Amino acid sequence: MLTALVARERTGKGTTVDVSMLDSTFSLMVQDLMLALGPHEFPHRIGNRHPDMYPFDTFDCKDQPIAICCGNDHLWSLLSNALGHPEWIDQANFKTNDLREKNWQDVKNAMQSVLETKDAAKWNQILHDAGVPAGLVLNVDKTRRLDQIIDRGMVKTLPDGNEVLGSPMKYGTWNSYGLQKDSPKLDEDGDKIRKEFE
């Protein structure tokens, strides 16, 4: 909208802004679309793993999954050390990203056998301390209880105790973080609204 407003100021011409959910979601597939539109290579389903980097995937720990994003050889060395297997750094089929991506199932099996020995939260701390990007894979209930979700007003508790989804759009002028009230009953605010038109 800001682009349209600036253009109006500069050109004197207004315009419409059309943003569809389909267009927005389609544009999020940029990685696969570059292959489809360029060399006309059409990707197939690969689960949670990245198509060009490995290990960039989700892994099962003792209690729940963890996502590990190891996108280069430097991170691979940090990860190998953090998992207690420094020999993986120079292992013939794991040595470079291209080799790890080609042999991703072997890498996953090796990592999985280690990661299943501890809870995800423990591994998450170990990996963060080592400088490896990682994060817990949370279900909806655990996600809705995150401090940041609550602090940003994405879950709101109504006066009647019901919880509702908050708006992702925040405005500094209005309290878009705090509680919202129930929708009014039929004609509950009728007198107040009618006074505005007098």
Active-site residue list = 50
- How big, in percent rounded to 5, are the helix, strand and coil portions of the chain? 45, 10, 45
Strands (E), 6-73: 56-60, 65-69
Q: What is the Cα–Cα distance from 91 to 83, expressed in whole angstroms?
A: 15
Contact 31, 87 (CB under 8 A): no
φ/ψ of 15, rounded to 5, equals -155, 175
Contact 164, 180 (CB under 8 A): yes
Residue 174, number of CB atoms within 10 A of its CB: 8
